Amino acid sequence: MGKRLDPVPYEARTRGLVVRVNPYFLPDQSDPQDRKWVWGYDVEIENHGPDTVRLVSRHWVITDALGRVEEVEGDGVVGEQPILRPGEAFRYSSGCPLTTPSGVMEGEYRMITPEGDAFEARIPPFSLDLPDAGRVVN
């Protein structure tokens, strides 16, 4: 397991949904000599709104230390399209490899209500920095 970078996770709020992300470096999966640095991140999505919502897709924007941008889109998260009723939360863990020792990730989740009202829930920008480096994104 990697070393947690921040005791306080990054957080964004959209229409009653709170998205928190806590990234951490995974040294056992990284190989700097091969230009491979890997981070894990824990995500928690809490529904504080009045509506039931389903997470149908994700869109990530990953920027490495050289400013190169990669966009990743797909259905759901970790093979699921979770439904969150008011007061419920969904948690998952995932990871991201980079070819530079640091970077930034951000994005959004596409959410939809049972009535078909769709919206984007913001994923806060978060830093992927080595444990001894300073935090880049506030």
pLDDT, tens digit, 9 for 90 and up, residues 10-54: 999 999 999 999 999 999 999 999 999 999 999 999 999 999 999
The phi-psi region of residue 116 (left if phi > 0; otherwise alpha if psi is between -120 and 50; otherwise beta) is: left
Domain residue ranges in the chain: 3-128
Distance (Å, whole) CA 65 – CA 103:
5
pLDDT, tens digit, 9 for 90 and up, residues 71-123: 999 999 999 999 999 999 999 999 999 999 999 999 999 999 999 999 999 99
How crowded is residue 57: how many other Cβ atoms within 10 Å of its Cβ? Answer: 17
3-128 CATH, one of 3.40.50.1370, 3.90.230.10, 2.60.40.1470, 3.40.50.300 = 2.60.40.1470
pTM of the prediction?
Answer: 0.88
Q: Has residue 4 got a pLDDT over 80?
A: no
